[in-house]
């Protein structure tokens, strides 16, 4: 494993917990921080060392991995007084695996470099299932030598690991990924809404088209859940909204007009305003599917 033995890990959530387990299986020494200890007792029991503060968690570690919720959380754990950059040792590898702003990734790279640290932005795709299986795709920006030094660590968590370019490029790649998902997911939702409206059986529809040119990972993983109205989150709607907003900001800065992304974002924001932000992304069907609205209107007409 080279020089990286001890890892501080911040963000032990749906994704992070499985990543911690896979790093421990690979032989790394894991130190974790979480706001609520009771939520991570399982991985503590499996060998992770819990710390009451970020400062204690990152002190003297060879590498620090963060995978938190939102850009403001990344700002807090790296830059707030007493957090990562105030306590990490010189020469440590700092790896932010949160999907966040490319500009923020560049800021961490610059400020970390001033303290003698090696900084990589390494967002992931593959969801909670990929995290559990250790088959994540890892999209890495930063210095190539640092990417290569961290390869054993990445290989413990993923199987499709690619160097994207300078600092921030990992984030740009992840945002491109989310733009593709927005189009694919909205297509699945619109197709199911259309099929229902025209009296087709949704299960037969999925079986009929999934192996053809319309097939996609979004269709395979979320189509059956949409049909069953299973909206349990594999990936939170609120986090997808965050990602799409970041992508739209970057697109606007470059003068790109991404109309599908804008439409899907607007639909998701509408659902979030109705209290659906903690559902899975497949709940986007609620924006497209007119059945509930029509049922309510027909009941009102009967009352009249």
Q: From the centroid of its chain, how far is CA 29?
A: 24
**What is the DSSP secondary structure assignment for residue 232, as one 8-state letter?**
-
Q: Give me the catalytic one of 174, 198, 228, 242.
A: 174
174 is catalytic: yes
- Closest Cα to residue 95, out of 111, 118, 79? 118
- What is the C-alpha to C-alpha distance for residues 33 and 53, in angstroms, rounded to an integer? 6
Q: Which residues belong to the active site?
A: 174
């Amino acid at each position: 494993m080279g020089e990286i033995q001890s890892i501080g890990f911040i963000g032990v959530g749906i994704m992070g917990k499985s990543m911690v387990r896979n790093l421990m299986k690979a032989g790394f020494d894991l130190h974790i921080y979480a706001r609520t200890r009771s939520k991570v007792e399982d991985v503590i029991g499996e060998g992770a060392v819990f710390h009451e503060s970020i400062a204690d968690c990152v002190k003297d570690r060879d590498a620090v991995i963060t995978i938190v919720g939102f850009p403001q959380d990344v700002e807090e754990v790296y830059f707030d007084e007493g957090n990562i950059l105030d306590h990490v040792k010189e020469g440590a590898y700092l790896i932010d695996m949160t999907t966040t702003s490319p500009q923020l990734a560049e800021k961490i790279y610059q400020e970390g470099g001033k303290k003698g640290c090696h900084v990589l932005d390494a967002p992931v795709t593959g969801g909670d299932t990929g995290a559990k299986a250790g088959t994540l795709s890892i999209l890495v920006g930063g210095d190539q030598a640092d990417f290569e030094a961290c390869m054993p660590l990445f290989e413990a968590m993923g199987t499709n690991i690619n160097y994207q370019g300078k600092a921030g490029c990992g984030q740009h790649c992840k945002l491109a990924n989310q733009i593709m998902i927005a189009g694919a997911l909205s297509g699945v939702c619109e197709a199911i809404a259309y099929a229902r409206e025209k009296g087709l059986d949704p299960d037969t529809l999925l079986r009929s088209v999934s192996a053809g040119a319309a097939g996609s990972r979004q269709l395979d993983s979320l189509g059956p859940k949409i049909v069953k109205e299973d909206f349990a989150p594999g990936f939170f709607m609120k986090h997808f909204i965050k990602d799409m907003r970041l992508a739209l900001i970057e697109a606007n800065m470059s003068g790109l007009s991404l109309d599908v992304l804008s439409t899907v974002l607007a639909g998701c924001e509408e659902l979030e305003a109705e209290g659906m932000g903690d559902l899975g992304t497949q709940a986007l069907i609620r924006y497209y599917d007119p059945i509930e609205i029509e049922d309510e209107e027909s009941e009102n007409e009967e009352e009249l």
